[in-house]
Amino acid sequence: METFKDKKISLLEDQRFQNAMNYFNSEDWYCAHDSFEELWHESIGIERNILQGILQVAVAQLHLERGNKNGATILFGEALGRLNRVGCSDFGLDIRRLCKCIEHRLYSLQNNRDLDLCTIPRLSKNSEGET
């Protein structure tokens, strides 16, 4: 099977990516992690960094489900650092919005605030015309 890397198509056009986004947005963190990890192994450059950051968010959420706040805090911090470093607007996802959500969750974890008051991480495409 050819991958997005072989065909030079956008990762956003890869059906596996769409499936991974659906898992992520439906809060199926384990399946999201597995799906993004498969793509991460095939990726290079900026896409690889973005996928790793998204993977870390999914695993952080999985840690929270299992009561591991320390693990979630570490992974949210790593994801935020990774996603803030890359120029993500060309990738087609609204990474800024995701980062704001992660920042709020990380702040809440670090300050023992109620995470139920935070939004759940979601992946969305950039609005048309957004750079």
CA 99 to chain CA mean position, Å: 9
**What's residue 85's pLDDT?**
84
Look at residue 1 in the predicted model and tell me its pLDDT. 46
**Which residue blocks in 1-131 are alpha helix, DSSP H?**
4-7, 15-25, 29-42, 45-65, 69-85, 95-110
- One pLDDT digit (tens) per residue for the chain, 131 residues: 445 555 555 777 889 999 999 999 999 999 999 999 999 999 888 889 999 999 999 999 999 999 999 999 999 999 999 998 865 545 688 999 999 999 999 999 999 999 999 999 999 988 744 44
53-86 confidence digits (pLDDT tens): 999 999 999 999 999 999 999 999 999 999 988 6
Domain ranges of the chain: 9-117
To the question of domain 9-117 being in CATH 3.40.50.300, the answer is no
How far apart, in whole angstroms, are the C-alpha atoms of residue 59 and residue 53?
A: 10
